[in-house]
Amino acid sequence: MLAALWIIVTATFFLMHSIPGDPFLGDKVTEAIRQNMLRKYGLDKPLWEQYVIYLGNLLRGDFGTSLKMLHRSVNDMIRDGFPVSALLGLEALAYAVTIGLVLGTLAGFRHNTWLDYLAMFVALIGISVPGFIMGGLMQYVIGLKLGWLPIARWEGFRYTIMPAAALGLGTLAVMARMMRTSVLEVTNQDYIKTAKAKGLSQREIVFRHILRNAILPIVTILGPLTAGIVTGSFVIELIFGIPGLGKYYVQSIFNRDYTLILGTTIFYAVLLVFLNFLVDVAYGIVDPRIRLMRSRE
């Protein structure tokens, strides 16, 4: 795990420096001032030396100060921005998981009925229309024309609904489709016939035997899907003017804000590794075949 992180840090560091330009190139300052600023931030040193210094700071948990936002440390920016992004992501994930699973389950059990077709139509839209287009559309229709929800900014729960919905839609669609397939597949398994032969009611069969087995493949893709939601939030935050971490992430690349690029990348990498670990644990809980064997039993 640490090796993976080290590779990410190193690759990001050198890739970032290979982009033409530097943080102060766009500023309207004289060449002398620019050199001074480069020296102040240690950017005049050879690349390998900067790398070693950065790694040293990183080990002490210091991401450095932003090169563009004056006097703000990257640690502070993550501390302020991440809770907002996390809230947005969790809300989006909550919509996607609950609505997606319900939709997929209904579609699976009402296979080839209008309900199934409706659910799959919604899913098709969710998969083919990107979140930022959906976001813009929602701002126009729900926010501007109907006036039901605020168009942008981040000042309370009402403000979170639209961006979270736009962010979660793609994941919702994937969930619904996978759950539908999974329900259909499990329903045709032999052990469902065994359950029926035992004299269980349809209800008991669905809740005790079908759903738990149907949800297994969904848990597996939950990790990558969460990653998708996290990365997707960059654009959504920009559209809806949300002061989250994602917005900084995108801006930092345009600005060549080296410390901010590295800081946010590393932070997200750690987050994803952690999420995947959680998924592995969750998978073990729902599927006894994966569960780690307790020693000596």
Partner 1 sequence: MAGERLLDVKDLEVSFYTYAGKVHAVRGVSFHVNRGETLAIVGESGCGKTVSVQSTIKLIPMPPGKIEGGTVLFDGKDLTAMSDRDLQSVRGAEIGVIFQDPMTSLNPTMTVGRQITEGLIKHQKLSAEKARQRAIEMLSLVEMPNPRERFRQYPHQFSGGMRQRVMIAIALSCNPKLLIADEPTTGLDVTIQAQILDLMKSLQTRMNTSIILITHDLGVVSKLADRIVVMYAGKVAEAGSSEDIFYDAQHPYTQALLKSVPRLHEEARRDLLAIPGTPPDLFVPPKGCAFAPRCGYAMRVCLDHQPGAFPAGDNHAVACWLMDPRAAHVRDGHAGRAEAAGARGGAS
Nearest approach, Cβ of 8 to partner 1 (angstroms)?
35
Task: Give the ranges where 31-156 is alpha helix by DSSP (H).
Answer: 31-40, 47-59, 74-109, 114-128, 131-138
Q: Under a CB-based contact definition with an 8 Å cutoff, are residues 245 and 79 in contact? A: no
Q: How many residues bind partner 1 (CB under 8 A)?
A: 23
**68, 180, 209, 256: residue in contact with partner 1 (rule CB under 8 A):** 209
Nearest approach, Cβ of 198 to partner 1 (angstroms)?
4
Q: Which residues of 254-283 are buried (b: 16+ CB within 10 A; e: fewer)?
A: ebbbbbbbbbbbbbbbebbeebbeebeeeb
Q: Which is nearer to partner 1, 107 or 123 (CB)?
A: 107
Q: Does 182 bind partner 1 (CB under 8 A)?
A: no
Q: Which of 263, 292, 296, 265 is nearest to 280 (CA)?
A: 292
Q: Which is nearer to partner 1, 128 or 201 (CB)?
A: 201
Question: CB under 8 A: which stretch of 91-99, 121-129, 159-167, 187-195 binds partner 1?
Answer: 187-195
Q: Which of 106, 43, 32, 92 is nearest to 244 (CA)?
A: 92
Q: Does 286 bind partner 1 (CB under 8 A)?
A: yes
Both tokens of residue 251?
């801006």
Question: CB under 8 A: which stretch of 65-73, 96-104, 140-148, 283-291 binds partner 1?
Answer: 283-291
Q: Does 287 bind partner 1 (CB under 8 A)?
A: yes
Read off the amino acid at residue 211: L
**16, 152, 196, 224: residue in contact with partner 1 (rule CB under 8 A):** 196
Q: Which is nearer to partner 1, 28 or 294 (CB)?
A: 294
Question: CB under 8 A: which stretch of 40-48, 50-58, 192-200, 243-251 binds partner 1?
Answer: 192-200
Residue 81 CA to residue 250 CA, distance in Å, equals 13
Read off the amino acid at residue 125: I
Torsion of CA 197, 182, 223, 118, to 10 degrees: -130
Q: Does 208 bind partner 1 (CB under 8 A)?
A: yes
> What x/- string results for residues 124 through 163 when contact with partner 1 is judged by CB under 8 A?
----------------------------------------
Residue 79 CA to residue 97 CA, distance in Å, equals 27
Question: In the window 11-50, what residues touch partner 1 (CB under 8 A)?
Answer: none
Both tokens of residue 288?
């006894």
Residue 293 CA to residue 297 CA, distance in Å, equals 8
**39, 153, 158, 212: residue in contact with partner 1 (rule CB under 8 A):** 212
Question: CB under 8 A: which stretch of 6-14, 89-97, 128-136, 205-213 binds partner 1?
Answer: 205-213
Q: Which is nearer to partner 1, 171 or 213 (CB)?
A: 213
Q: Which of 84, 104, 103, 102 is nearest to 92 (CA)?
A: 84
Nearest approach, Cβ of 197 to partner 1 (angstroms)?
4
CA 275 to chain centre: 10
Binding site for partner 1 (CB under 8 A): 189-191, 193-202, 204, 208-209, 212-213, 216, 286-289
